[in-house]
């Protein structure tokens, strides 16, 4: 393993386009992201913000019409974008593994859990019995009751929550350095979501891996994650520790998003806060700040100049892309 400054994953100034019939979609623009070793990082954003695109790009899984325009993705110190397909495969499933939103489609419906879980250990030079023993052990760790017998069952014989547990077990079998979780609780009911969040937290502590947790739900991120990265319309607009970002949001979008969350509003109201306006088109990206049309605090500079990442809190690694934070330059009122 090479030196990696204590970061499992570091994305620097990544820009990515998709080719489409209507024109080039600038799906990710100058994105920065850091996942330190042993931390849980939440990646939040609304639909179309590019959070899933970013998550799968980190292990080099790109759609056929995708083109990286610039930047680098350092996984354990090595640039994923420069790796051969072979090198990438060596990482996927071993150093980095993934769980998805829909646990049904992530499992092969015609093969038993036992076959699927021993198959994914094909690179480990151990006996089939040993592979099976490890699979059973992992199933019991994720809370599947009676794993010795249940391992012979097929995916459809499990409920949605159990299937997601099995997916987590499969993803953690190789003891990866990074677990990518793409909205793993969105399809689940509230009481199951609570269970899965608790499970992820516990397993992370036991195994010591890092987790990149993609979600549109602020509450879940606040509860599970150490750090949070907020995306809007293909850009990372704020990142920092969960405490800093949720208590002192530096970007007006983050602020508005937290205000909107009905889980925060305890007093009964018939007039809930919203963010007026719509997300800009990612084909014809407007100049300047992407959020300025909906921003209550936008000023003249926002339309003129694209905001780079400013430091919101020097010591605590809290950054936000908003001109309001530019202490040296011109600021708005």
Partner 1 sequence: MSTLLEVRDLRVRFRSMGPLRALMRRVEDPFIDAVCGVSFDIREGETLGLVGESGSGKSTIARAINGLLPIHSGSVRFRGDEMAGLSRAQYARFRREMALMFQDPAGSLSPRMTVRSLIVEPFKIHGYRDRNLDAEASRLLKLVGLGDDFAGRFPHQLSGGQARRVGLARALALDPKLILADEPTAGLDVSVQGEALNLLARIQDELGVAILIITHNLNVVRHITDRMAIMYLGRFVEQGRTDDIFRWPHHPYTEALLSASPEPDPDAARERIEIKGEVPSLMNRPRACEFHTRCPYVQEKCRNVAPQWSQVGEGHGYTCHFPLNLARADGDAGGR
Partner 2 sequence: MAETDASEVETTLSQEPGALLQYWRQLRKDPLGLTGLALVLIMVGSALFAPWIVPYDPNQILVGPKLEGPSWAHWMGTDQLGRDLFSRVIMGGRIALQVALASLLAALTAGLLLGLIAGFGPRWLDNGLLLLFDAVRSFPVIIFALALVTLLGPSLYTVIFVVAITAVPIYARIVRTQTLAIRSNEYIMAERSMGAGTGRILGMHILPNVIGPLLILASMDVPLVITLEAGLSFLGMGVRPPTPSWGTILNDGYSYIRNSAWPVVFGGIPIIATTLGFTFLGEALRDIFDPKLRRDL
Q: Select the binding partner of residue 129 from partner 1, partner 2, none (C-beta < 5 to 8 A, by kind).
A: none
Question: Are 177 and 97 contacting, i.e. CB atoms less than 8 angstroms apart?
Answer: no
Q: How many helices (H) and strands (E) does the chain have?
A: 11, 12
Least separation in angstroms between residue 82's CB and partner 1 is: 35
Rounded Cα distance, 29 and 111, in Å: 41
Under the criterion CB under 8 A, does residue 117 sit at the interface with partner 2?
no
Give the Cβ contact number of residue 232 at 10 Å.
26
Judged by CB under 8 A, the stretch of 52-60, 113-121, 195-203, 297-305 that binds partner 1 is 195-203
Torsion sign across C-alpha atoms 183, 55, 75, 92: positive
The most distant pair of C-alpha atoms in the chain lies apart, rounded to whole Å, by: 69
By CB under 8 A, residue 210 contacts partner 2: no
Of 72, 102, 261, 326, the one binding partner 1 (CB under 8 A) is 261
Task: Return phi, psi of residue 261, to 5°.
Answer: -60, 115
Residues 129-188 that bind partner 1 (CB under 8 A): 159, 161-162
Contact partner at residue 3 from partner 1, partner 2, none, CB < 5 to 8 Å by partner kind: none
Q: Please name the helix (run of DSSP H) or strand (run of DSSP E) that holds residue 43, with its range, or none.
A: strand 40-44
Whole-angstrom Cα distance, residue 291 to residue 251? 10
Q: How far is the CB of 25 from partner 2 (least distance, A)?
A: 5
Q: Is 48 in the site for partner 2 (CB under 8 A)?
A: yes
For tokens 């610039």, name the residue. Answer: 70
Contacting residue, 191, 296, 314, 333, with partner 1 by CB under 8 A:
191
| Binding residues for partner 1 (CB under 8 A) | 46-47, 159, 161-162, 189-195, 197-198, 216-223, 242-243, 246-247, 256-258, 260-265, 268-275, 278
| Binding residues for partner 2 (CB under 8 A) | 18-22, 25, 27, 47-53, 56, 63, 65-66, 234, 282
């Amino acid at each position: 393993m090479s030196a990696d400054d204590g970061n499992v994953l570091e994305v620097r100034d990544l820009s990515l386009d998709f080719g489409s019939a209507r024109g080039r979609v600038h799906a990710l623009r100058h994105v920065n992201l850091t996942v330190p070793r042993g931390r849980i990082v939440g990646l939040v954003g609304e639909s179309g913000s590019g959070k899933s695109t970013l998550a799968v790009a980190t292990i080099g899984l790109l759609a056929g019409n995708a083109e990286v325009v610039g930047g680098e993705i350092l996984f354990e110190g090595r640039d994923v974008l420069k790796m051969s397909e072979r090198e990438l495969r060596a990482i996927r499933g071993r150093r980095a593994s993934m769980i998805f939103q829909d646990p049904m489609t992530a499992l092969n419906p015609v093969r038993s859990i036992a076959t699927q879980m021993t198959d994914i250990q094909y690179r480990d030079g151990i006996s089939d019995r040993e592979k099976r023993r490890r699979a059973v052990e992992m199933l019991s760790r994720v809370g599947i009751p009676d794993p010795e017998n249940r391992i012979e069952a097929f995916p459809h014989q499990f409920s949605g929550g159990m299937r997601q547990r099995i997916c987590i077990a499969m993803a953690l079998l190789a003891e990866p350095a990074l677990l990518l979780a793409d909205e793993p609780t969105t399809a689940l009911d509230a009481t199951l979501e609570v269970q899965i969040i608790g499970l992820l937290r516990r397993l992370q502590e036991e195994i010591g891996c890092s987790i990149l947790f993609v979600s549109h739900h602020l509450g879940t991120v606040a509860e599970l994650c150490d750090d949070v990265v907020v995306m809007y319309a293909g850009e990372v607009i704020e990142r920092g520790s969960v405490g800093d970002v949720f208590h002192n949001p530096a970007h007006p979008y983050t602020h508005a998003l937290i205000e909107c969350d009905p889980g925060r509003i305890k007093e009964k109201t018939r007039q809930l806060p919203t963010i007026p306006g719509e997300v800009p088109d990612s084909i014809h990206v407007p100049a300047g700040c992407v959020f300025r049309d909906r921003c209550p605090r936008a000023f003249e500079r926002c339309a003129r100049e694209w905001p780079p990442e400013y430091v919101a809190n020097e010591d605590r690694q809290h950054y936000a892309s908003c001109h309001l934070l530019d202490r040296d330059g011109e600021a708005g009122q």
